[in-house]
Amino acid sequence: MVRHNNQLPDNLPQLQNLIKRDPDSYKDDFYQQYQHFLSSMEIFALNPSEESKSLEELVMFIAQVAQCYLELCVKFPQHLVDLLKNHATTLDPIMRNCFVKALILMRNKNIIPAIDLLELFFQLLSCPDKNLRSFLQAHIITDIKNMNSKHKDMKLNSTLQNFMYSMLKDANPKAAKMSVDIMIELYKKNIWNDAKTVNVIATVGCFSKITKVLVASLKFFLGHDDDEKGSDDSDSDNDVDLKGAIMQNRVNKKTKKRKKQLEQIKKQAIKAQKKKRNAPAFNFSGIHLIHNPQGMAEGLFKQLQSTNERFEVKLMHLDVISRLIGIHNLFLFGFYPYITRFLQPHQRQVTRIMQFAAQASHELVPGDIIEPILKTIANNFITERNSSDVMAIGLNATREICMRCPLAMGEDLLRDLAMYKTYREKSVMMAARSLIMLYREQLPALLHKKDRGRLTEAQAERKIRAYGEVEVHKTIPGAEALLKSSKEIDLGSESESDANDGAWVNVTHSEDEAGNGDDDTGEDDDIDEDEDENEEEDDGDDESEDTNIDKEENDELPACSDAEKKERKTYKSSIEKSSKNAELRILDAKEAAQELAMTRIFTDEDFKRINAAQLKKTVTNARKRPLEKEREEFVKLNSIEMIYKKRKHDKESRLETVKAGRQDREKFGWKDGRKNENSSKTNRENRKNKNFQMMRHKARSKVKKSFRDKQKALRKHLLHQKKMK
């Protein structure tokens, strides 16, 4: 059968369609096109910088139907790979994109192995073509994600990671930056979320001489703060867009198109709200997976001291170093004097520097090392020559540092700062009280006796640890609660006088009073004046009793008889005996609880009872909620910058005050100044509404006269007056 008017050699899309339907019938036609491709490639290789439209069409045609003739197309991918390797930078951009798309097309059909193609694409990242680099980055991430979708290919991942390690050391800044971006993106997508990826970024990226690679690596260890801010911004943008669209719909002309657009924006806003309500998914922070955090912190600190980068990059260094020190409890004593230099009120981003100082504080750092930071903050911020906001921020920063290293605070400095609890500005007062509340829990002995407050049962049981001392529990804390009766344990009992009778008090309490308050923010006045006065009275009574007993011991008063002395001695011995009995009871309860923990598996109900009992120990009759605040891993900037300020009125409250001010006020007149609406207007008022041409001659008289004209007018006026006389 002879084909007349055969147009297939020139019409490649038609031939492609026919081959996919019936490959065997058109094998000869394909072979003819493939030979044409080989000859065109030889010609193109002589001058690769020129575009060849016919070769571009042939390459895409063969890539589309290569799976139909695998035997004929065995060497086809290799031809493209060799051409890209040899002439990557000199190739015409259009032809280079064509070859890359053809290889990706065959990779999607599993004709090319993944490792060879990905290594080629990593090499092509150094090409001076931004569109190509972004296209390759998206494909590399998608391809590796698809390969690890069902199960992780550890061999492939290890090979690619080793190749990426070498790419990060590449002298080409664009290739190195693209490589670190790919690794970070794969980590965020939980594909390469292992320690090897993290340590490659830590050892190579964070010490790169290329600024963009350095910044990207440091941002990686700072977590996903930027992403979260971006999501918050997008949510707020959605709200703004929705309000704006509703307002436009009210004002503009009503059309079907605008109505449809408004409905779409409403749907997007509803979706955004649902996303916001869903529980967020967090990745395990990469800073925990570093093999040598001490070495990394020392290296970054040395790099920081010698760098000439801009201030924002230095802040990133400080942030990463402080997080390393705080999380891994490192020793880097040179960091604290370095950061002290920046603690000035006029310093740019000084609140962030305070945040880094707090993050770098932990219990294993000697108090003498951190004490200069506290003194610098006290001298530069917490002084009356500064504004109340500056003082409050200084007190908040002091609290955050002392929360992580309580031994850094000296007794004299703490008592000086505690005196601000009665300061005239409420922001300073609340910040000072939050510091007092912290040391009530941590080290109440450093506070003045009137500031210690009434000790809770948990505070009385707590042992004050010295520097470096570790508290070792022999049993589950609070297991003694299981030895008592299993009555309902509620927080906030108002009668704790029955606490020694062996059973818990069953008293209900409102959720508002027993809620989880945040004492450190200073929103509630936990230190009431009445309470302080009562405490001072109680303390004074205790002191008087102690002094009386001591006097009776040391001084022989002639007024006291022998019988009275004997009674007082017996009274004192009975007190000592009762305290010893109480200590013995506590020891017996702990031994019994330890034996119970060794012989029994606790259930969820048991742990609920233990938690309730432990919570009850943290409150007293005067204090209806626990004071303890768990130490967070990172210091939030909001905890330093958040100060008490009087909230502004909203629109409704402002309107109420405006209406209240109008009640007893006289009514104003008309807009034109008339008190009586029936009275006529003056000529001067009517003149304003007349045509200018009618009043033109009047306007001329208003021209400013010269001094000479004024003299003439005055002389004329005086002569006229003289004649009249």
Q: How far apart are the first and last CA of the chain?
A: 139
> What's the pLDDT score for residue 72?
87
Work out the average pLDDT over 343-357: 93
> What's the pLDDT score for residue 578?
57
pLDDT greater than 80 at residue 121: yes
Cα 79 to Cα 50, 57, 85, 91, 618, distances in angstroms? 18, 16, 10, 14, 76
Query: Phi and psi (nearest 5°) for 147?
Result: -70, -25
Mean pLDDT of all residues in the chain? 77
Name the residue among 439, 454, 431 with its Cα closest to residue 405. 439
Contact 57, 40 (CB under 8 A): no
CB-side neighbour CA atoms (13 Å) of 636: 7
pLDDT greater than 90 at residue 680: no
Amino acid at 366: P
Highest mean pLDDT among 229-233, 352-356, 441-445, 623-627: 352-356
pLDDT tens readout for residues 485-540: 544 444 433 333 333 333 333 333 333 333 343 444 444 444 443 444 444 444 44
pLDDT greater than 90 at residue 374: yes
Question: How does residue 358 score in pLDDT terms, banded at 50, 70 and 90?
Answer: very high
What is the distance between the alpha carbons of residues 673 and 684, in angstroms, rounded to a whole number?
Answer: 12
Q: CA-CA-CA-CA torsion for 595, 599, 603, 606, nearest 10 degrees?
A: -20
Work out the average pLDDT over 698-721: 84
Name the residue among 76, 161, 178 with its Cα closest to residue 123. 178
User: How many other β-carbons are positioned within 10 Å of the β-carbon of residue 272?
Assistant: 17
pLDDT greater than 50 at residue 425: yes
pLDDT greater than 60 at residue 357: yes
Between 140 and 283, the more confident residue is 140
Extents of the domains making up the chain: 12-200
User: Which residue in this structure is represented by tokens 């020190």?
Assistant: 325
pLDDT tens readout for residues 224-276: 544 444 444 444 455 556 667 777 767 677 787 778 777 877 777 787 776 66
Contact 354, 393 (CB under 8 A): yes
Work out the average pLDDT over 405-420: 92
DSSP 35-93: HHHHHHHHHHHHSTTS--HHHHHHHHHHHHHGGG-TTTTSSHHHHHHHHHHHSTTTS-H
- At 567 the three-state DSSP class reads helix
> What's the pLDDT score for residue 227?
43
> What's the pLDDT score for residue 525?
43
Name the residue among 514, 698, 532 with its Cα closest to residue 623. 514
Cα 665 to Cα 18, 367, 498, 669, 675, distances in angstroms? 92, 65, 63, 13, 15
Work out the average pLDDT over 624-628: 49
